[in-house]
Structure 1
């Protein structure tokens, strides 16, 4: 996070920090409260920065020299002019900092606490990952746990090691297919290793239905609603197929990403390594119906046909490492990804913004408020947050 390297001068020049000082709301109060809770050693710098921002904005009290300095801070000119002069000026105003810093920050925390903005219990309960077994029973997955996954009859299926569920290959060959179903809610991701050794990364808002054991000599079929990245174990005798409503992906051993959210109507496969073929579900998989793609290509199902194009693979796989990566993405698509990533509901009433294309990236752990604050600079808009619902409005 960039704020970890900030000193009081950097904070005083930051737009999002300035917004919090002058126009605190539920979103920015929550962000800065959590920031100070996570990094308490930054409290003194934040105190001083708040004093500086508030002091420099009081035109009636401070006169023209401070006004000019404030303009320099806002425009970023202090960096080229050199920080020593600003710090010297700040030292001259140290009596103001000493007297008011604790008071100003105290007021800020009073505002936060009395509005309940730092009370995490006021937020909706955290959604749970669930595993539905072949008998229809469901188990909640505790991502901090290590345990053996068993059926209702006590038969071991595999081992959960926190955020990874690993199925084991049984000693005796399976004679019939028994399916499990893993559901990952908004705000979470999860990993799964199938009994054949195939490794699957499930993105937020996704469901995968798969056999506990694959049958000898029979195709390996799994059923996806959502998004997943696959590292398929090679087996030339048993082709592996990802089945979705609009397009199937056939593979023997490779790395690829499949996206097919039923509620969004967008289905595509991106190939990172190896070779795959895609075809319509109503067609039988053969040389005539399968359309092959090579690494660096995307097969997209649109207007009842499959279209192949060259793409930047990382744009579609960055999520597996927790990164939000937008490359010339439409604003409405970005908002849908933010909904899934942060488990929120976003209502965009600023319809003119939906088709605007933006490019930006965010690391794992970046708050939603920080993300929206940066996106606002690329595509101006306003927003309000009420609990788990965000409303986008025109600027």
Structure 2
């Protein structure tokens, strides 16, 4: 499609008028030229994006709308179409079209192909490796549903895609003096998995995370697991047998509750967010605190004590429910989550000072859809190297 036709006032007005009319009635498109049909298709897609996603609050809508009106200079007839509802659509069209044009221009220069990139950078899914006490490794991604192994009084089953279940062998009396055997479940970049522990506790692992746990808690004085990465826990209450999550220099002790822990080494912090119940966070030399629902304990691993903040805990567990949610988050923080989920590497060209965003998007969207939302602010642009699984971000 010729770039110059985007600047043709009459075609813009004609296609935008049809897009508006389609809201309430069927419209005859037989008189549209091939270029106008293509423009209409692209604008429909952009309009759908603006309706489907939470608005990214990082641009001046009024300013972009004014810029669009100056470019189009619509006639009196066309001006009647610009009601309040269409202001956001128009701003989104202007901003997102700049991203589309940028991608078109760079496709020839870099060999970049959107359909190939979308195919290669689909969102993550249920992927994990289970390592048993005897060293045997099982790819849960490839394993069939059903029993995977049996250890002493425990049966290990893949009950369905994305879920691993540990259950007591029926009619077998637990051996309270048996040696404790540890299993480890690991998710790669682009992976997630749920594991139901032998006590009934449920754990959801985020991408690039691992959980080490006993295959049976029968002979343990307390239920202790070790976490690296991020996980959401729903802990079953057991009298006289507390549940503990161990990390490097940091423990979380609970009786029965639901909470999220983010403990990625490259983030430089550990955050424990409590949804229900009560937990004690023990940061060793950095002190300890007891949380109530709606609070988050935040520890900078480079130094300093624990900070306790009141937060929207739904945002902390949005990943478990299938969404990315950002509240005034810096671009670097956002892209770390994107790197883990889409299994890519990000290169920055610029300082990106003050690049903070708020918004929400499904984790099932393609990488390009997520990047287009960020680029829609007009402050940054990106290139993708499919072969190297690399995204390059540049300041505008």
- Classify 1:77/1:386 alpha carbon distance in 2 versus 1 (closer, same or farther; 3 Å): farther
Partner of 2:165: 166
The answer (yes or no) to whether the contact 1:246–1:301 under 8 Å persists in 2 is: no
Q: Distance in 2 between matches of 1:282 and 1:82?
A: 57
Partner of 2:323: 323
Matched, 1:372 2:375: no
Q: Distance in 1 between matches of 2:228 and 2:203?
A: 14
Partner of 1:232: 235
Deviations 1:144-180 (A, max 9, x none): 8412111699x84334321110101243324121111
Aligned length in residues: 311
Q: Distance in 1 between matches of 2:180 and 2:229?
A: 23
The answer (yes or no) to whether the contact 1:239–1:251 under 8 Å persists in 2 is: yes
Shift of 1:216: 4.1
Structure with the larger RCO, 1 or 2 (CA within 8 Å, 6+ apart): 2
Moved more, 375-384 or 318-327: 375-384
Superposition map of 1:193-272 within 5 A: 193-216=196-219, 218-272=221-275
Shift of 1:345: 1.0
Matched, 1:141 2:134: no
Q: Distance in 1 between matches of 2:280 and 2:312?
A: 19
The answer (yes or no) to whether the contact 2:331–2:352 under 8 Å persists in 1 is: no
Partner of 1:308: 308
Partner of 2:9: none
Superposition map of 1:45-124 within 5 A: 49-51=37-39, 79-80=81-82, 118-119=115-116, 123=120
Q: Distance in 2 between matches of 1:383 and 1:130?
A: 33
- Classify 1:172/1:53 alpha carbon distance in 2 versus 1 (closer, same or farther; 3 Å): closer
Shift of 1:137: 1.8
Q: Distance in 2 between matches of 1:242 and 1:341?
A: 24
Deviations 1:330-354 (A, max 9, x none): 111011011112221111222233x
Name structure 2 gaps, 5 residues minimum: 1-14, 21-31, 43-68, 86-103
Alignment RMSD (CA, Å): 3.9
- Classify 1:251/1:10 alpha carbon distance in 2 versus 1 (closer, same or farther; 3 Å): farther
Q: Distance in 2 between matches of 1:10 and 1:195?
A: 62
Q: TM-score, normalised by structure 1?
A: 0.68
The answer (yes or no) to whether the contact 2:112–2:385 under 8 Å persists in 1 is: no
Deviations 1:346-372 (A, max 9, x none): 11222233x532100002422221211
Partner of 1:340: 340
Shift of 1:301: 1.3
Name structure 1 gaps, 5 residues minimum: 1-7, 14-43, 55-66, 84-106, 284-288
Partner of 2:131: 132
Q: Distance in 2 between matches of 1:361 and 1:51?
A: 27
Partner of 1:358: 357
User: Greater helix percent: which structure?
Assistant: 1
